[in-house]
Amino acid sequence: MLYALRGYIKLTITDCNATILYRNFITVTRDSVFLRQAYPPVTRYASPVTTPYKLDTPCIIEIMKIIATCDLHYGLKKWGNDSTNEIARLVINSDADVFIIAGDIGEGLQNFKECLELFKEFRGYKLIVPGNHDLWSKEGQSFQIYSKILKEICENSGFHYLDTGPFVLNNIGFIGNIGWYDYSFKLEELNIPIKYYEEKKLPKVTGWNDRRFIKWDYNDYEFLDLLLDKMEKHIKHIYEQVNTIIGVTHHMPFEDMIRKTNYISWDFARAYLGSKKIGELYLNYEKIKFAICGHNHRYVRTTKGHVECISVGSTYKQKELLTLEI
């Protein structure tokens, strides 16, 4: 586990109708940068109550600023690289305490490394989980890439690789890893036999490219269980030391974050977007208040029980930056 102590922004207020948690997205396109607020602000109050109230005396609210992105796919297309370069400029010039990348960072190991180098001048703490594209290999070493090679690249670039352990900053903990899938998000009404999901190919219709480029001895169920077991150990390790935990995965934790399209290729692919087991793990621990993910290339925000989950929503062309203050 990695601990860090860093000064917070301190805000003195007398009126506790104060918005201290908000969601903004900086969307970078090939030609422009603009700010959009995807939903109305979410308001949190300075005391753990659920209704607004007034304070008779001033109070101190400690604010941690977190920024996150995902699905940069650096090296895939020039216009995607241009957007990523602009995201890097925004990150470096921000006053955030923590910067998170939630997977699918670079196309191949060299691009993965070059992408992380873009953020080397960021002055805060940098956390990372990889995505499925980051494990693609033609040489049959995907697990070595995940467990060793990416870890070393991340550490050499100043990023904390969350798969190796949680990160704690004051009273907020961060846990996570790539996450994975077990076909629990499959659309039952399609009545597609499970063997086609396991083979990642629907004959004469579509396929999922992990079947071609993820090379290891695990099946999807085994790899997911390995990840969840490690994640739960990390949660338990910090649980009594923090007030809030933020979960970070590339794959998605809740099925209702995925839209039904009536296009067979996409509705088949939803089986590979995440797992119900990730969400179930989050819901077992009340201190997990937020979850950040990527992978589906679409902004989604949902609340399940005590967990507010945000899919950042970067696409191959358009990159987005989430701002979260808690």
Q: What is the mean pLDDT of residues 139-150?
A: 91
Beta-carbon contacts of residue 258 (< 8 Å; ≥ 6 apart):
185, 252, 270, 273, 274, 296
Question: Minimal CA–CA distance to 87: which of 290, 293, 322?
Answer: 322
In angstroms and rounded to an integer, the radius of gyration of the C-alpha atoms of the chain is: 20
Angle (CA) 262 266 272, round 5°:
135
pLDDT grade for 55, boundaries at 50, 70 and 90:
very low
Residue-wise pLDDT tens digits, 258-271: 998 989 999 999 99
In 10 A of CB 222, how many CB atoms?
13
Domains of the chain and any CATH numbers = 2-325 (3.60.21.10)
Helix (H, G, I), strand (E, B) or coil at 174: strand
What is residue 215's three-state secondary structure? coil
pLDDT band at 80 (very low <50, low <70, confident <90, very high): confident
Inform me whether the pLDDT recorded for 32 exceeds 70.
no
Please give the Cα distance from 189 to 182 (Å, whole number): 17
Which residue, chain included where needed, has tokens 């104060």? 18
Local structure of 203: helix, strand or coil: coil
Residues 176-196: what's their mean pLDDT? Answer: 97
Q: How far apart are the first and last CA of the chain?
A: 22
Note the pTM of the prediction, 2 decimals. 0.84
The confidence band for 1, taking pLDDT boundaries of 50, 70 and 90, is: low
Give the burial class of 275: count Cβ atoms within 10 A of its Cβ; 0-12 exposed, 13-18 middle, 19 or more buried.
Answer: buried
Q: Is the pLDDT of residue 19 over 90?
A: no
Picking from 44-53, 79-88, 283-292, which range would have the lowest pLDDT averaged per residue?
Answer: 44-53
pLDDT at 4: 44
Q: Could you write out the DSSP letters of every residue in 119-158?
A: TTT--SEEEEE--GGGG--SSS-HHHIIIIIHHHHHHHTT
Query: Taking all residues of the chain, what is their mean pLDDT, rounded to a whole number?
Result: 84
- pLDDT tens track for 5-15: 333 333 322 33
How far apart are alpha carbons 38 and 121 in whole angstroms? 28
d(CA 118, CA 83): 12
Name the region of 219 (left: φ>0; alpha: ψ -120 to 50; beta: rest). beta
Q: What is the mean pLDDT of residues 106-118?
A: 96
Across the range 196-204, mean pLDDT stands at 96
